[in-house]
Structure 1
Amino acid sequence: MDLAEDRFTELYERHHGDVWRYVSRRVVGADVGDVVAEVFLVAWRRLGDVPAGAALPWLYGVARLVLANEARGRRRWRELTLRMAAEPDRSVVADHADEVIGQRDVAVAFDQLSAADQEILRLVAWERLSPAEAAVVLGCSRATFAMRLMRARRRLRARLGAVSDGAGRSSLTAPSMSEWGA
């Protein structure tokens, strides 16, 4: 093998699982394997562009762009789900346990955020990236990312309060905001 193949093999073996998890948390009903394969195809083609000390954030950035191609399908799926849920004969009886309600409230509040805010919170909460690493994924400065993160957290808190208050419940039933990087 030549140096490029060795470098790619090391990159793949080291980060495949992380990229797989990153993609699988963001794709609904799509083939995660195809998306991950596309990410590593881009990495192979642009191996010289992969930063030596920050390969994983770079791969997450590529995955984010590949996933953008899946966004329309996911959006159509969500719209169909909302239409189906609005039909009275297809309603589902809710579980009234406080934990389930709190999780639902967080999910509803999170779904009401913009795609940009959702991605910022995912990078911190799900991928456990530092602000510097997350800034690389989004292609912005650390200071810009920190400001975006602060605003995304504030909007999530506001949405969570509105969801909890609108249902006549206290926001204390919701999971801790620390789970969302707050």
Structure 2
Amino acid sequence: MTIQERTVDIPRKENTTKNDEPVKIWPVVQDALDKIEADEPTREAAEAALESSDGCVTLANYLNGQAKRVHKMDYRFKVPLVVLGAQMAREDDGAESIYDPEEGAIYFETEDHQFSFHIDKEWTVDWEKVADRIQTGYEWDGMEKQVWALDWLMAYLEVPMDDYMVSSDDEEEDDQHFSRI
């Protein structure tokens, strides 16, 4: 199955929805990438990230962070990515999911990072079935994860940072240019 065809079954609370059809992942991710005007390497990294549980939560974290810079973000990606990440983690051991009902959040611990996703109370998702464990009072490190989100996402594409970041040589040339003006 290709990334474009991958679906996820979202566990629902009893009697909360009439539609429990599997959700196609790529269209909702693609809509979010369109909304943030992602470039081609970012889109390729997003596709590559969907191959693993830690990649799914890294992508969800990246898109959450980008939402702050666009007007009216399309958040339809959030639940499918979080649920897919939790389901894949049971197979690939790339992440552990923890649901804290008191905090209203689902957390992920990957080998390198800890992520937090707040949950809307109106959502019909049965988070207890999604998460590996339930823990009230889960201690999250509270660090802002969006700062390095693009770097973490690009790691799934295995693109050297210099290929998508402005090099310091370019910055020095820009500084010299501005000093002459």
Range into which the TM-score falls when normalised by the shorter chain: under 0.3
| TM-score, length of structure 1 as denominator length | 0.26
The structure with the largest strand share of the pair is: 2
| TM-score, length of structure 2 as denominator length | 0.26
Structure of higher CA gyration radius: 1
The structure with the largest helix share of the pair is: 1
